[in-house]
Every structure is written in C-alpha cells, then in structure tokens.
Amino acid sequence: VQLQASGGGLVQPGGSLRLSCAASGTIYSINAMGWHRQAPGKQRELVAIISKSGRINYADFVKGRFTISRDNAKNTVYLQMNSLKPEDTAVYFCYGGIRDSRQLRFDDYWGQGTLVTVSS
C-alpha cells in the first residue's frame, strides 16, 4: 500500500492550489484520510481530515479557506486550498487509515509530501 501526493507548487498570496493523494496497492478498506503539514522549523500539524462517511474536521487556521474531499471509488483524497497565505508554506503530507488486504488491522500510511510555497 502506498499514497502518492501531487499538486504542490509555487503560488502567490491569495492564490489557489489543489492537492491530490491517491492510495494504491492491496487495499481492503480505507477509514479516515487527511492532510497534515510541516513548515520549516515547526512540528507537523493537522490540516484537515475526512472520515469514510464524509465527516470532516478542519484546523482553525484553514477554516473557510481550505476544503477537503474524497472519492472513495478512486481511493483519493483532495485538498482545495484558496486564499493562500505565506504562512501556509509547508510540506503537505497526506494520510490514510488503511487495511491492507493481507492484514487484519488498519495501519497509518503517509504520502511522501508535496511542497507548497506561497510567495510573491
């Protein structure tokens, strides 16, 4: 099982980006999926998380600006980021609580990270 994130890049303040993260491999089931981020010199922090049924939680600092969604048929989670600020600059990591079809438990899987830089 692996997660592949994409969509990062350089954007001006006030701009938008859309991140995608697709899970692949011997997947039996996926529970929650989400995004964390880590800025230089800071700890990794939760950005948003979405359950299999669609229940969503956002960090306060992205409410009203970011939207998380998922396509269960494609095992993919998205993060639409609008009104980006320089302080949103970070490496964004996708996450999935996934049960490998060869296992009887759910484990946490992380994508490789995609860099988002907000700068003029």
**Contact call for residues 94 and 8 (beta carbons, < 8 A):** no
For residue 103, the model assigns a pLDDT of 87
52-74 pLDDT, tens digit each:
999 999 999 998 999 999 999 99
How far apart CA 94 and CA 83 sit, in angstroms, is: 20
How far apart CA 22 and CA 28 sit, in angstroms, is: 15
The candidate with the shortest Cα–Cα distance to 97, out of 62, 57, 52, 66, is 52
Digit-by-digit pLDDT tens for the chain (120 residues) are 999 999 999 999 999 999 999 999 999 999 999 999 999 999 999 999 999 999 999 999 998 999 999 999 999 999 999 999 999 999 999 999 999 988 889 999 999 999 999 999
How far apart CA 17 and CA 35 sit, in angstroms, is: 14
